[in-house]
Structure 1
Amino acid sequence: MIKFRMATAKDLNEIVQMLADDELGRTRERYENPLPESYLKAFESIDSDLNNELIVACLGEEIVGVQQITFTPYITHQGGWRATIEGVRTASTERGKGIGTQLILWAIERAKERGCHIIQLTTDKKREEALHFYERLGFKATHEGLKMKL
């Protein structure tokens, strides 16, 4: 049975390993021992912010999934709150077993608990399977997103 909990600094190695364990992740993450300090600094910022949650999915003691949820108040939509899901990964050994679905369904319920009116996410256009996965869960490509690397 999958259990969800807030990540701790002790989980960072496993989290970064999951983030780096795919075609796109290998090009942008640095899974090294020890981890680059930037990961710990990011974790500390996330952990100290009440509107950010880094969630791990656990099968027993083993971390098998991760996602970050950010809660943001907006002036638009009558001052409503949004939840943004980022960094969703399932351990490569566990893919195809429904863990990703459980992660997203958990995030949707968490967004409802926090009073969010919208839940949003992005996925790289190269991840066609991920796009279809999110669409099956009810997400719709209603907007065109743009990004700029700095």
Structure 2
Amino acid sequence: MKAEIKFRLATEKDLDSIVAMLADDMLGSKRERYENPLPKSYIKAFNAITSDPNNELVVACDDNEVIGVQQITFTPHITHQGGWRATIEGVRTLASVRRKGVGTELIKWAIQRAEERGCHLVQLTTDKKRPDALRFYEKLGFKVTHEGLKLKL
């Protein structure tokens, strides 16, 4: 890995690398479909994300290699006096760079981006089956303040 990680908005050419990273872990291997060609659902989702000014799919790159990904969604709320918040989702790094600071840089970049967008809060969730991820986010200053609920449809 080179000395400086570059961040940029993802392009459709990055989609193969992104899906490969999403599929390359204990949970992603059960819910993603990394195959060639990629299922059209990924392209459809990519187009929806990139056409929405309140969504950013961001990749971390080492030279031209995509080594990390995250999605940031900016949402206005009536609460907090009409404040905006940023939600970070789908954070993954290439297996070969895990535990080398790439995830930390991704999250720091997302926090800075949220500040640039005027957000008063950055939020994220992590699966309860990922205790290491929870510790990782707590080391970056995130606090467990709420119980999250999901309803699978």
Alignment match, 1:97: 100
Amino acid of the residue matched to residue 135 of structure 2?
A: H
Alignment match, 2:116: 113
Residue 43 (structure 1) shift: 0.2
User: What secondary structure does 1:111 align onto?
Assistant: helix
Alignment match, 1:31: 34
Alignment match, 1:45: 48
Q: 1:80-111: CA deviations, max 9, x gaps?
A: 00000000001001101000000000000000
- Indicate yes or no: 2:6 matched with 1:14: no
Amino acid of the residue matched to residue 103 of structure 1?
A: L
Structure 1 distance, partners of 2:144, 2:32, is 27
Structure 2 distance, partners of 1:63, 1:8, is 11
Q: Which runs of 4+ in 1 moved over 6 A?
A: none
Residue 40 (structure 1) shift: 0.2
Alignment match, 2:145: 142
Task: Output the aligned Cα RMSD.
Answer: 0.3
| Structure 2 unaligned spans of 5+ | none
Quote the sequence identity (%). 73
| Structure 1 unaligned spans of 5+ | none
Q: Quick one: which of 102, 117, 132 aligns to 2:135?
A: 132
User: What secondary structure does 1:65 align onto?
Assistant: strand
Amino acid of the residue matched to residue 81 of structure 1?
A: W
Amino acid of the residue matched to residue 21 of structure 1?
A: D
Q: Quick one: which of 68, 71, 79 aligns to 1:76?
A: 79
Residue 58 (structure 1) shift: 0.1
TM, length-normalised to structure 2: 0.98
Structure 1 distance, partners of 2:16, 2:131, is 27
Matches within 5 A, 1:56-71: 56-71=59-74
Residue 60 (structure 1) shift: 0.3
